[in-house]
């Protein structure tokens, strides 16, 4: 039985949505952490887990593959047995941006000494930069530890940096950028294709399919203004007119549809796309 580890928390809904777009349904009963997988010949079962635990679950063979942040992989990295990054998945916790792991604080520079306390959401990563300071684990809201004086520095995650700035703190060092990744102990063609499908579902969210009918005399003018991945599809209809299909970025749709109507296009249909590869 092949098992996929799915992150709970802020990444959960987006992950489930993307899997659904590529035809994979995750069925969870109540508050169970074990789920059935339908529509996949790669996975038959899923575990819903804290993303921080997913690299360890994959390494130990509890799950055959998992989706989590790259920061979790680096924090839980097992010496002499690195995990494979099958694919980077271009989505974040609350946006399309990858999060950043940072060192922050009130001071203008980083000081590493025995009387310094570091509140770290990533203790292993913190140890690479603080050799003398006392490192204490933080389960979140690390900014508050610095504001209240519980710690001198924080090591945590940020997407926009807004919370850091709002609390009058400074980002002193960017440790790493952490995209969401698909991981496994070993690569395989099926897993690599699975990663490409998810990225195809992500890419499709920026585009829509446009269909329209057009008279023969305006087809060339329409082709000139419509964007496409390679080239629009043009077919002759039974009445002698033409059907045109193309894929267009969502951000261009409003002006594009207006211009198509001005040219005389009829029966314009706009549809969502599940996968774009």
**Are 82 and 183 contained in the same domain?**
yes
Nearest to 119 by CA among 103, 102, 135: 135
**Are 236 and 247 contained in the same domain?**
yes
**Are 250 and 227 contained in the same domain?**
yes
pLDDT for the residue numbered 123 = 94
Decide: 90 and 205 in contact? Cβ < 8 Å.
Answer: no
Beta bridge partners of 102: 156, 174
Distance of CA 148 to the CA centre of its chain: 33
Number of structural domains the chain divides into: 3
State the CATH number of the domain containing residue 46: 3.40.190.10
**Are 183 and 173 contained in the same domain?**
no
Q: 89-144, pLDDT tens digit by residue?
A: 977 665 667 889 999 999 989 999 999 999 999 999 999 999 999 999 998 899 99
pTM (2 d.p.)? 0.86
**Are 116 and 75 contained in the same domain?**
no
Please check whether residue 61 lies inside any domain of the structure.
Answer: yes
Please check whether residue 94 lies inside any domain of the structure.
Answer: no
**Are 77 and 141 contained in the same domain?**
no
Structural domain of 58: 3-89+179-204
Please check whether residue 236 lies inside any domain of the structure.
Answer: yes
Please check whether residue 9 lies inside any domain of the structure.
Answer: yes
pLDDT for the residue numbered 99 = 87
**Are 103 and 83 contained in the same domain?**
no
Please check whether residue 277 lies inside any domain of the structure.
Answer: no
Nearest to 154 by CA among 179, 194, 183, 123: 123
**Are 223 and 260 contained in the same domain?**
yes
**Are 159 and 185 contained in the same domain?**
no
Radius of gyration of the chain, Cα coordinates, nearest whole angstrom: 24
pLDDT for the residue numbered 162 = 86
Nearest to 224 by CA among 249, 246, 206, 202: 246
CB count in 10 Å sphere of residue 179: 18
Beta bridge partners of 105: 153, 170
Question: What angle (nearest 5°) sits at the alpha carbon of residue 9, between those of residues 167 and 166?
Answer: 10
Residues of the chain with pLDDT under 50: none
Nearest to 85 by CA among 99, 67, 98, 60: 67
Please check whether residue 172 lies inside any domain of the structure.
Answer: yes
Q: Looking at 139, 161, 178, which one is the last position of a domain?
A: 178
Question: Cα–Cα distance between 181 and 71 in angstroms, integer?
Answer: 10
Nearest to 232 by CA among 247, 213, 216: 247
**Are 84 and 183 contained in the same domain?**
yes
**Are 81 and 188 contained in the same domain?**
yes
pLDDT for the residue numbered 81 = 60
């Amino acid at each position: 039985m092949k098992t996929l580890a799915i992150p709970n928390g802020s990444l959960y809904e987006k992950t489930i949505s993307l899997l659904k777009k590529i035809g994979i349904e995750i069925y969870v009963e109540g508050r169970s952490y074990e789920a059935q997988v339908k529509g996949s010949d790669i996975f038959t079962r899923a575990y819903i887990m804290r993303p921080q635990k997913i690299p360890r679950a994959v390494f130990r063979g509890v799950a055959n593959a998992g989706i989590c942040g790259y920061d979790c992989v680096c924090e839980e990295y097992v010496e002499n047995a690195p995990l494979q990054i099958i694919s980077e998945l271009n989505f974040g916790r609350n946006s399309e941006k990858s999060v950043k792991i940072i060192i922050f604080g009130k001071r203008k520079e980083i000081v590493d000494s025995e009387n310094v306390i570091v509140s770290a959401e990533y203790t292993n990563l913190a140890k690479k930069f603080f050799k003398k300071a006392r490192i204490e684990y933080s389960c979140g809201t690390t900014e508050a530890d610095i504001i209240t004086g519980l710690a001198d520095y924080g090591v945590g995650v940020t997407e926009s940096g807004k919370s850091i700035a709002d609390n009058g703190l400074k980002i002193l060092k960017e440790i790493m950028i952490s995209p969401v990744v698909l991981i496994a102990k070993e690569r395989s063609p099926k897993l690599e294709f699975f990663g490409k499908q998810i990225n195809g579902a992500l890419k499709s969210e920026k585009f829509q399919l446009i269909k329209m009918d057009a008279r023969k005399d305006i087809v060339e003018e329409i082709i000139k203004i419509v964007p496409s991945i390679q080239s629009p599809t043009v077919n002759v209809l039974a009445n002698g007119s033409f059907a045109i299909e193309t894929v267009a970025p969502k951000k261009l749709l409003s002006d594009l549809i207006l211009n198509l109507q001005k040219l005389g296009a009829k029966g314009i249909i706009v549809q969502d796309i599940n996968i774009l590869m």
